[in-house]
Homo-oligomer: A and B are copies of this chain.
Amino acid sequence: MPSNTNSSPENGANAIQLSITEQPIDYNALTESVRSNLCGAVVLFLGTVREVTGDKKTSSLEYEAYEEMALIELRRLIETAMQKWPVKKVSITHRVGYLDLGEIAIGIAISTPHRKEGFEAAQYLMSQIKETVPIWKKENWTDGSTDWVHPEK
């Protein structure tokens, strides 16, 4: 396929871009991939590695994914979001492996005609991702201990 997929930005086939990667997340590419003349709003969310949680300090994080299912589940969540809000394009990348402080664990970019629905859909996707997408986080604390993180419920 010789054509550059970026040359047809309104093409529905490009509406969803998903990846799970060991490489640092290029949020510029993520944001650019959702821009559209049909949209007045782009919302980008980055989840980054925070140093302090309560009275503990993180030295690094480790993420593991069941990649095959994670991609299926992400697509399912996006399709649900697209039924609830007039979302035009969504790009989501989740990083796996070791992450240092400040690095980006997840990037989600979304474009919508107006801002309200963009914020709502981005928040919906983030909260659903944390509920159902099979990816796990392990904290490596500065005191040498490690914890697989369990959601506070």
Contacts and interface: CB of A to CB of B under 8 A. Distances in A.
A97 interface: no
A24 interface: no
Contacts of A116: 123
Interface string A25-58: 0011001000111111111111111111000000
A69 interface: no
Nearest to A100: B37
Contacts of A31: 27, 44, 46
B49 A40 contact: yes
User: How many copies of this chain sit in the oligomeric assembly?
Assistant: 2
The bracket for how many chain A residues form the interface is 20 to 34
A51 B38 CA distance: 6
A98 interface: no
A134 interface: no
Interface of A: 27-28, 31, 35-52, 101-102, 111, 113, 115-116, 118-119, 122-123, 126
Given A36-B102, A42-B44, 15 more contacts: A27-B31, A28-B28, A31-B46, A38-B50, A38-B51, A38-B52, A40-B47, A40-B48, A41-B47, A42-B45, A44-B44, A44-B46, A45-B115, A45-B118, A115-B126
28 contacts: A27-B28, A28-B28, A31-B44, A35-B46, A35-B48, A35-B102, A36-B102, A37-B101, A37-B102, A38-B50, A38-B52, A39-B48, A39-B50, A40-B50, A41-B47, A41-B48, A42-B46, A42-B48, A43-B43, A43-B44, A43-B46, A44-B45, A45-B118, A47-B115, A50-B113, A115-B126, A119-B122, A119-B123
